[in-house]
Structure 1
Amino acid sequence: MNQTPSADTGFQIWWQLMRPHTLTAAFVPVFLGTALALEHTKLHVLLFLAMMIASLLIQAATNMFNEYFDYKRGLDTEESIGIGGAIVRNGVKPKTVLNMAFAFFGIALLLGLYICSITTWWIALIGLICMAVGYFYTGGPLPIAYTPFGELASGFFMGGIIIYISFYIQTGFVTNGAILFSIPVIILIGAIMLSNNIRDRVGDQEAGRKTIAILIGHDPAVTLLATMFIVSYLWVIILVLGVYGSLWLFLTYLSIPKAIQAVNGFKGKNNPLEMMPAMKSTAQTNTLYGFLLSIGLCLTYIF
C-alpha cells in the first residue's frame, strides 16, 4: 500500500495513535476505585500513580494493537474514520506500532511488579489476564472485537476489574459497595465500545465482524446505547438508597446533557464522519459521570 506521510509531527502521530478520547476508559475506573477506598484508608499516592499510569499504558497499547491488526487485515485505509492513522496516513512502519504497544505493556508490567511487591502477587495474574484481553481484543485468530462480546469484555475488564484492583491495592480487600459502584462504569465503558461499533457498523459488516451493532442494526443499537445511559443514571438511585445514602452522588446527573447529545448525534446518521461527535460525547459522558461520582463520594466523606 502506498503510504503518504502527513504533515503531523512525531508527537501528534503517537498521540493520535493512542486515541486519547478512549483513555477515559482507563482513567475513570482507577480514579473511582481509589475514591471508594478513601472511606477505609488514607491514600497511598505512589500506588495510585502506578495504577493510573499502568492502566493508561495498557489502554494505549490496546489501541495500538487495534491499529496494527486492523491494518494487517486490510480494514484501515487513508479514508478510515476514527483511527490513529499512523500506519496508513503517516507512513509509520506496522512493526514499529506493534513494538511500541509491547513496550507500553512492558512498562505496565514493571509498574505492576511494584504494585505487587507492596500488596499481593495475585494482582500479577489478574493484570496479565487484563493485558491478554487487550491484545486479543483485535489480535489472535478470533478477535473479541469481531464478536458480540466486545462491549462486555471491555466494560468488565477495563471497568470493573480496574476498579476492584484500584480499591484493593489501597485497602487490602474489596467490598460489596465497590462492586455496586462498578456497575455503571462497566456499562458506560461498554457504551464507548458500542458507540464505536455503531459508527463503524457498515465497514465492520463488510469485514465479517459480528458486533452487536451489526446484529441488531443502527436504530436498535442507538436505542440500546440510550438504554445503557438510562440504566447508569437510574443506578445512582440504587447507590443512594442502598449504599451511601448521600445526595452528593446525584452530581453525576450534571453529565446527562452530554449523554443526550451522544444519543441525538447518532440518530438519523449514516456517515461515519457525521457520527464522530456522538462517539466523542459518549466518551465524555463516561469521563464526566465517573469524575462527578468520585467527587460526590469525596464530598460524602467530608460532610
Structure 2
Amino acid sequence: MNNSHDKLGKVTPSKPTWQVWWRLLRPHTLTASFVPVFLGTMVALQNHTLHFGLFMAMMIASILIQSATNMFNEYYDFKRGLDHAESVGIGGAIVRDGVSARTVLNLAFIFFGIAIVLGIYICLLTTWWIAVIGTICMAAGYFYTGGPYPIAYTPFGEIAAGIFMGLILVLLSIYIQAEVITADSVLLSIPISILVGGILMANNIRDLVGDKEKGRQTVAILLGHDKAVTSLELMFIVSYLWIVGLIVTIDASLWLLLVLLSIPKAYKAIKLFEGKTKAVEMVDAMKATAQMHTQFGLLMAIGLLVAYLV
C-alpha cells in the first residue's frame, strides 16, 4: 500500500476500511448517549404523548456529539503523546491504522455540525434555550481532552461525564417531550448519572499506570487502584439503593426493580478489576462496567414503559 505523511508525521494509508472508521467511533461506548435519551423519553411518556421526530433527533444528535468527543479524545491524546500503537481502549485510527490526525479532527467537527442542524430542528419545535444548553454540552465534549486544561487530566472527569452525559442528557430528553422538568424527573435521572461517571471511573482505573506517567491527575490516580475499585463498587451500590429509595419516597413504580437484574454484571465488573495491574488485563472489566450501565438504564426505561402500558 502506498502511504503518505500528514503534518504531524503520521503514516496515512490511502484507503482506510469501514472497520477503521467504525472503531474510531468507539461503538461500545455509544450506549452512554443512547441510554440516557431513551430513559428520559420514557420518563416523559408517563404523562405526555411521544413525539417520535424529536426523540430521533435527540438520539442521533447525542450519538454524534459523543462520537465527536471520542474523536477529539483520539486526536488530542495522540497529539500529546499519550496514545501509541499498544494503547488499549482507543479507536487506534491514528496510531495503528494511519489515518491522518487532521482528518480525525475534521470529522469530529463535521459530526458537531450535523448535531447542530438536528439541534435547530429541536429548537424550532420547543425552545431556543435548548441551543444554549446544547452548545454548553458540545463545549464540554471538546474541552474534555481539548484546550490547554483538559477536563480528562483532572479529578473532575467523572463529575463532568455524570452531569453532561447523564443528568443534562436525561433532562433534555424529558423536556423536549414534556416541556417541563419536575423534581421527580431530576431524582429519576440521578442513578444513570452516577453510572455514566462510573464508566469513566472504570476507564481511568484501567489506564491508571499510563495516565500517571503522562501527568494526569484523575480520581483513580489520586485514590490508587484498590480504593478506586471500591469507589466504583460504591457507585453501583448507591445506584441500586437510589431506585429502592425512589419507590419508597415518591411512590415510583415497582417495575423499576427490574434494574436488579443487572446486579450480576455489576458484580462481574468489580471482580474483573480486583487484583489486576495491567491495562490489557482490565479491558473486560471496563466492558462489563459499560454493559452494566447499559443494562441498568435500559431495564429502568423498560420498567417505566411497562408502568405506562399497564
TM-score (norm 1): 0.97
Query: Which residue is equivalent to 1:247?
Result: 254
Q: Is the 8 A contact 1:30 1:166 kept in 2?
A: yes
Task: Give the whole-Å Cα distance in 2 for the aligned partners of 1:246 and 1:95.
Answer: 49
1:209-288 correspondence runs (5 A): 209-288=216-295
Equivalence for 2:189 = 182
AA in 2 matched with 1:204: D
SS at the partner of 1:82? coil
Q: Which amino acid aligns with 1:94?
A: A
AA of the residue aligned to 1:111: L
Q: Distance in 2 between matches of 1:245 and 1:262?
A: 28
Residues 35-114 of structure 1 mapped to structure 2, 5 A cutoff: 35-114=42-121
Q: Which amino acid aligns with 1:114?
A: Y
Gaps of 5+ in 2: 1-8
Q: Identify the residue that residue 137 of structure 2 maps to in structure 1.
A: 130
Cα separation, partners in 2 of 1:192 and 1:140, compared to 1, 3 Å: same
State the alpha-carbon separation in 2 of the partners of residues 223 and 96 from structure 1. Answer: 40
Aligned-partner Cα distance in 2 for 1:241–1:12: 47
Which residue number corresponds to residue 3 of structure 2?
none
What is the one-letter code of the residue matched to 1:37? A
Equivalent of 1:172 in 159, 173, 179: 179
Which residue in 1 is equivalent to 2:305? 298
Distance (Å, rounded) in 1 between the aligned partners of 2:295 and 2:82: 32
Aligned AA (1:140) = G
Q: Go from structure 1 to structure 2 and tell me whether the alpha carbon gap of 1:234 and 1:184 turns closer, same or farther (over 3 Å shift).
A: same
- The alpha-carbon deviation at position 243 of structure 1 amounts to 2.6
Q: Work out the CA distance in 2 between the residues paired with 1:40 and 1:174.
A: 12
Which residue matches 1:160?
167
Alpha-carbon distance between aligned partners in 2 of 1:3 and 1:212, rounded to the nearest angstrom? 35
Residues of 1 paired with 2:110 and 2:69: CA distance? 12
Q: Quick one: distance in 2 between partners of 1:78 and 1:254?
A: 38
Question: Are 1:17 and 2:5 an aligned pair?
Answer: no
Alignment of 1:195-206 (within 5 A): 195-206=202-213
Instruction: Report the residue type matching 2:236 in the other structure.
Output: F
CA distance in 2, matches of 1:149, 1:9: 35
| 2:157 corresponds to | 150
> What's the CA shift string for 1:67-124, capped at 9, x where partnerless?
0000000111101111100001001000000000000000000000000000000000
CA distance in 1, matches of 2:296, 2:26: 20
Taking the aligned partners of 2:265 and 2:161, their CA distance within structure 1 comes to 21
Q: Which amino acid in 2 is paired with 1:39?
A: Q
Question: 1:238-297 deviations in whole A, cap 9, x for unaligned?
Answer: 121123442211000000000011001100001111100000000001110000001101
Structure 2 distance, partners of 1:105, 1:228, is 31
CA contact (8 A) 1:177 1:243 kept: yes
Identity of aligned residues (%): 62
**Secondary structure of the corresponding residue to residue 69 of structure 1:** helix
Query: What amino acid does structure 1 have at the position aligned with 2:185?
Result: A
- In the alignment, is the contact (CA less than 8 A) between 2:12 and 2:99 conserved in 1? no
Q: CA deviation at 1:4?
A: 7.8
Q: Which one-letter code corresponds to 1:47 in the other structure?
A: L
Following superposition, the deviation at residue 302 of structure 1 comes to: 2.1
Shift of 1:2: 6.0
Partner-residue secondary structure (3-state), 1:80: coil
CA contact (8 A) 2:65 2:138 kept: yes
Matched length = 302
Pair 72,9 (structure 1): closer, same or farther in 2 beyond 3 Å:
closer
Residue in structure 1 matched with residue 4 of structure 2 by the alignment: none
Please list every run of 5 or more consecutive structure 1 residues that lacks an aligned counterpart in the other structure: none
TM-score normalized by the length of structure 2 = 0.95
SS in 1 for 2:91: coil
How large is the Cα RMSD of the aligned pairs?
A: 1.4
